Structure 1
Amino acid sequence: MGSTSASSPEPVRVLVIGANGYLGSAISRAFLRAAMLRSFYFQVYGLVRRASTARALAIEEVIPIVGSISDTRSVSQAILSHSRTWDVIVNCTEPSKSNPVAEAQHWDEVLVLVQGLAEASASAPRGKPVYPLVLWSSGCKDYGTTKLHGDPRLKEHSETSPLNPHKVVRCRMEGALRALAVAGKNEGRVAFDVAVVRATPVFGYSGSYYGVGFEYAAAFAAALASEKNKGATAKVLKFTADADTILHGIHVDDCADGYVALARMALFEDNDVGDVSGNCTQKRGRAAIAGQVFNISGRRYVTLQEVGAALAAEYGFTGDTQFGVSADNIPETIDVQGLDLVFGYSQWVNSEKIRALTGWSDKRPLISENMHAYRLAYEAARDLGCENIERIRERMMGDEWN
């Protein structure tokens, strides 16, 4: 017969804005599977725009909240009807990029929503005030590109690297910087703290932008198998980008675990570590998270040569791969829209800061190490009509990628 406890565990409330998105759903799952600490457990709520997606969250044990960020008052009331206090707020929305003005407005609206929730949380009528930790998602494309693998001028990007964003992520980057500035300007008492999380491209499950790589290889194989090319003796997978292009991705589950590691550090760790004389030698806990930027990247980068070889083997290219070819050598039936942002965007990113502070590390195989499983997962998600795949396709079709 089992024993009973005198007290029940208490919830640490987490609100994920954009919980049905590719990253948002992974973050929600990561918080739910995190082990309890000090008799606390993470209770996850997910904000989504449409009622049709709420059931998918509920199946994952995420409590759905339906509302539009553009209707700040209404959505705030919907969120606060579940709880007046929020321990962690994660922003990982991804608005449409077809209208830059509307996208910039979206990030402003998210910030207004977060400010309102933080004020309500800090002034809750019962118990002590709760000041939310806000984990604001941006991305490593904020830094721009690095040199290629093997280039003597190659230098990794760190959190202190200059910002030189690709135009497709500029609004997102600026929104994250505004959130940092607003949180930092609070005087007297801080209603909320912000940490910006910049992850490298993520893969796994429905694939995110790496899904374009699977589609490209499949389309290339189909083109070479057509009647027109049946006389070819060796099937070669070709890329316009250089073989030494650095592709520094990370599995989406590993990335999501990084968010949880930051939240656990801020909520459950002591604020500093002292030496034998009592002097503070290193910030810990919330003091080490608030106002900071954290990169999340894989334990090592891979090159396009590695990824290309894995794709060629997976899709049956007997002649392996060629790189740096002219666009004229790509079958005209293949849509290459946005492909350079996947295969041609060279970037090496340092993530030692989050590793050293929290002990977080990535564990899943790299994209080139487990290509078959990742391909099968992507194709299954595509065939089931995964909404996130459709969103990626729509973004890839936009002129902003050029």
Structure 2
Amino acid sequence: MPKVLVTGANGYIGNAVAKAFNRAGWTTYGLIRRAADASDLSQNEIHPIIGTPQDLSLTENQEHCVFDVVVSNTEDWSDYDGHFRHVKAMLTHIGHRTWDIAGVRTLLLFSSGCKDYGITGKHGDADLAPHTESSPLNAFPFLQARTKSAAALLEDGNNGNLPFDVVVLRPTNVYGYGSSFYGYLFAWADKANKDGNK
């Protein structure tokens, strides 16, 4: 059975992703910082790992360092670059250990966001185009660290400098499960439409 590690497995995106992998039949591990968050994961058959990326970058525990897929969902906006260095060290360690022990090249799914593209055209604008791999990155200043880190991961992967393969995910606004205001937004828009307010 394939194994996946989801970092930030108690967060909004990470929790939904971990549960989806589990439902799809994967042996799913979730990296979380607080033991208090472990019960939700355990109840959903997700194996909690209490710790940080720094902890996993040093472990020799085979159960905690051999994964077919790692889904990276964590950010620390108080020190994004420092946190990213720790995440990359963890990913590099897992990539090497997975190859050495299982002969498998780990796939990294790195969560970024559509805001990496900045403000683009709107419906009806002549310059409106779908976001693709070749779309220019033009993030707002406060998102530059994440945007540059994701782009650097892709470049390092394309140049063969990493012991894992990389996919950067840049989803649009996320809607579902909990911790989202989008449900309220859609309900408000639906009510306004029913009331005749366009």
Q: Which TM-score tier does this pair reach, normalised by the shorter chain?
A: 0.7 to 0.9
Asked if 2 retains the 8 angstrom alpha-carbon contact of 1:65 and 1:79, the reply is no
1:108 Cα offset (Å): 1.6
Q: Which amino acid aligns with 1:56?
A: D
Question: For residues 204 and 148 of structure 1, what CA distance do their matches in structure 2 show?
Answer: 24
Partner SS, residue 98 of structure 2: helix
Please, which of 72, 76, 83 is the counterpart of residue 57 of structure 2?
A: 76
Q: Deviations over 1:218-267 (max 9, x none)?
A: xxxxxxxxxxxxxxxxxxxxxxxxxxxxxxxxxxxxxxxxxxxxxxxxxx
Change (3 A) 1:42 1:148: same
Asked if 1 retains the 8 angstrom alpha-carbon contact of 2:137 and 2:147, the reply is no
Please, which of 163, 166, 169 is the counterpart of residue 140 of structure 2?
A: 166
1:140 Cα offset (Å): 1.1
Asked if 2 retains the 8 angstrom alpha-carbon contact of 1:47 and 1:65, the reply is yes
Change (3 A) 1:311 1:153: farther
Change (3 A) 1:143 1:78: same
1:65 Cα offset (Å): 0.1
Question: What's the TM-score once normalised by structure 2's chain length?
Answer: 0.87
Q: Counterpart in 1 of 2:9?
A: 19
Change (3 A) 1:84 1:163: closer
Q: Percent identity?
A: 37
Change (3 A) 1:65 1:142: same
- The alignment covers a number of residue pairs equal to 198
Q: Give 4+ residue runs of structure 1 displaced > 6 Å after superposition.
A: none
Question: For residues 56 and 78 of structure 1, what CA distance do their matches in structure 2 show?
Answer: 24
Which aligned pairs between 1:242-257 and structure 2 lie closer than 5 A? none
Asked if 1 retains the 8 angstrom alpha-carbon contact of 2:8 and 2:14, the reply is yes
Question: For residues 184 and 147 of structure 1, what CA distance do their matches in structure 2 show?
Answer: 29
1:307 Cα offset (Å): 8.0
Asked if 2 retains the 8 angstrom alpha-carbon contact of 1:87 and 1:132, the reply is yes
Partner SS, residue 205 of structure 1: coil
Question: For residues 135 and 65 of structure 2, what CA distance do their matches in structure 1 show?
Answer: 38
Change (3 A) 1:154 1:58: same
Q: Which amino acid aligns with 1:18?
A: G
Which aligned pairs between 1:1-400 and structure 2 lie closer than 5 A? 11-34=1-24, 41-69=25-53, 72=54, 74-77=55-58, 80-95=61-76, 97=77, 99=78, 102-124=79-101, 128-186=102-160, 191-210=163-182, 214=184, 309-313=189-193, 318=195, 320-321=197-198
1:209 Cα offset (Å): 4.9
Q: Deviations over 1:16-52 (max 9, x none)?
A: 1111111111111111122xxxxxx410000001111
Partner SS, residue 199 of structure 1: coil
1:154 Cα offset (Å): 2.7
Change (3 A) 1:170 1:208: farther
Q: Which amino acid aligns with 2:56?
A: V
Question: For residues 177 and 183 of structure 1, what CA distance do their matches in structure 2 show?
Answer: 10
Asked if 2 retains the 8 angstrom alpha-carbon contact of 1:76 and 1:113, the reply is yes
Asked if 2 retains the 8 angstrom alpha-carbon contact of 1:132 and 1:193, the reply is yes
Asked if 1 retains the 8 angstrom alpha-carbon contact of 2:95 and 2:164, the reply is yes
Change (3 A) 1:79 1:46: farther
Q: Which amino acid aligns with 2:176?
A: G
1:93 Cα offset (Å): 1.2
Q: Which amino acid aligns with 2:46?
A: V
Partner SS, residue 82 of structure 1: helix
Asked if 2 retains the 8 angstrom alpha-carbon contact of 1:44 and 1:62, the reply is yes
Partner SS, residue 123 of structure 1: helix
Change (3 A) 1:201 1:132: same
Question: For residues 78 and 59 of structure 1, what CA distance do their matches in structure 2 show?
Answer: 25
Give the unaligned 5+ runs of structure 2.
Answer: none
Q: Which amino acid aligns with 1:134?
A: L
Q: Which amino acid aligns with 2:80?
A: E
1:160 Cα offset (Å): 1.3
Partner SS, residue 203 of structure 1: coil
Question: What's the TM-score once normalised by structure 1's chain length?
Answer: 0.45
Q: Deviations over 1:42-93 (max 9, x none)?
A: 1000000111111111111100000023xx2x33355835244211111011
Q: Which has the larger radius of gyration?
A: 1
